[in-house]
Amino acid sequence: MALRSSHRRTRLSATPDGPLNDAEAVSRPVAPFPVEHPHYHLRPDIPDAEHRVFIGPANFAGQGFAWARALERETVSTHATAFCLTLDGGFAFPSDYEVPAAPYRQNRRWQREQYGWVRQQFTHAVIEAGRPLFADLTRLDVFYEAHLLDQASLATSMLAHGTDIRNIDRHADTFTWSPYREVPEESRAIMRRNSSEYRRGLRGYAGPVLVSTPDLLDDAPYARWCPVTVDPSIWQPDLGQRSDHLVVAHVPSNGVVKGSRDADAAMDSVTKQTGVEYRRLEGVASASMPAVLQGADVYLDQFRLGSYGVAAVEAMASGCVVVGNVTDKVRRRVLDATGRELPIVQAEPLEIASVVAALVQSPEHLAEIALKSREFAVAVHGGRYSAGVFSQALQIPMRQEVRES
């Protein structure tokens, strides 16, 4: 993924002592990616802002990049950089700097440069999903990394995304529709060990802890919810894309987790009874999703986690009515934190057909929910609310606070 056009690229030396010289044109490596390539050592120049925030290395669904832009837009004298690993197959999301997994794990020169670059160029670091910024240089220990960065006078924060912190056994025991009931025990053991170790480390971590979805507060009650963020100018309604009949879409990233089997069975019944068009898609590139959502009236999100995430927010921002399974506890948390009720229409797996059929019969109600959904997505997930959470966690003032002082 290309760097933002406003960035110059810098060639770094083999030691973490900073930029050596401006880079000449260097071709990009192609898969299968080698462990060493000149392009890996090109990093964006960092402007001389008062607050320089490094976010990585997950960038799940482009969230690191979205939060970086929100911080720059909403907080005082801030530049933010989102780092992640290169993805193949058209599913990559925007980032400011990325490398493949091979150099990240195996290239010690790159790891040392990365540590030196972050230590020297940034004032804050947000470490995502329990994944290390410097890989094997720090033996994959994010808490040791935080300690090193703290010694270098960087303020750090940990940000959890999902299975990195979720107690999957508790989830499976609590909810009959939990997807973790179907995960093979060998895989569950790995997930259990990793999340348990991460939670144990977080309890002893002195810095702020954030979670990207409100259900994760069950696993980290000491954390604060930092909502996922979308760009409302990209994810917006386009009535010209709508059909003359009602369209229900379902585009799962993971069919088992999303409850696609139940969604498909329900929509088979609904389409036969009502004539509604069901668009069941998979493998859609991220760049194509805005058009997919703009062409749908109803979006079936997930039915097995009890919460909501980026896909639901993108759909709401695009003017879709979202149907999903969100627990009462999560809905109360959203209301308490934002003062707004979550407009996702509730449906457990066995209720999908009846809920969608009822929506089909009430176009006025459908239009009302769609309007509320767009308003909610912009207000809660448009970036300012999340920037406010980061502002408190990282002690960076919001722009509005300065104007009012």
Residue 209 identity:
V
At 268-320, the pLDDT tens digits run: 999 999 989 999 999 898 899 999 999 999 999 999 999 999 999 999 999 99
Assess contact for 368 and 319: CB atoms under 8 A.
no
Q: What is the mean pLDDT of residues 237-249?
A: 89
Residue 242 pLDDT? 82
Could you give the percent of the chain with pLDDT greater than 90? 86
Residue 220 is encoded by which pair of tokens? 């980290």
The span from the CA of 6 to the CA of 69, in Å, is 13
Domain spans of the chain? 9-225, 239-382
d(CA 30, CA 234): 29
pLDDT at 76: 96
Span 9-225: which CATH code? 3.40.50
Average pLDDT of 43-50? 96
In this prediction the pTM is 0.91
Q: What is the 3-state secondary structure (H, E, C) of the chain?
A: CCCCCCCCEEEECCCCCCEEEECCCCCCCCCCCCCCCHHHHEEECCCCCCEEEEEECCCHHHHHHHHHHHHHHHECCEEEEEEEECCCCCCCCCCCEEECHHHHHHCHHHHHHHHHHHHHHCCEEEEECCCCCCHHHHCCCHHHHHHHHHHCCCEEEEEECCCCCCCHHHHHHHCCCCHHHCCCHHHHHHHHHHHHHHHHHHHCCCCCEEECCHHHHHCCCCCEECCCCCCCCCCCCCHHHCCCCCEEEECCCCHHHHCHHHHHHHHHHHHHHHCCEEEECCCCCHHHHHHHHHCCCEEECCCCCECCCHHHHHHHHCCCEEEECECHHHHHHHHHHHCCCCCCEECCHHHHHHHHHHHHCCHHHHHHHHHHHHHHHHHHHCCHHHHHHHHHHHCCCEHHHHHHC
239-382: CATH topology is Rossmann fold (3.40.50)
Report the alpha-carbon distance of residue 230 to residue 313 in Å, rounded: 7
Residue 15 is predicted with a pLDDT of 39
pLDDT per position as a tens digit, 110-167: 999 999 999 999 999 999 999 999 999 999 999 999 999 999 999 999 999 999 999 9
Same fold yes or no, 9-225 and 239-382: yes
C-alpha distances in Å from residue 253, one per residue of 33, 168, 169, 258, 341: 25, 19, 22, 8, 26
CA atoms of 127 and 120, how far apart (whole Å): 17
Token duo for residue 153: 């006078």
What pairing do the DSSP bridges indicate for beta strands 42-44 and 9-12? antiparallel
Distance of CA 84 to the CA centre of its chain: 12
CB 244 within 8 A of CB 287: no
Write out pLDDT tens, residues 170-227. 999 999 999 999 999 999 999 999 999 999 999 999 999 999 999 999 999 999 999 9
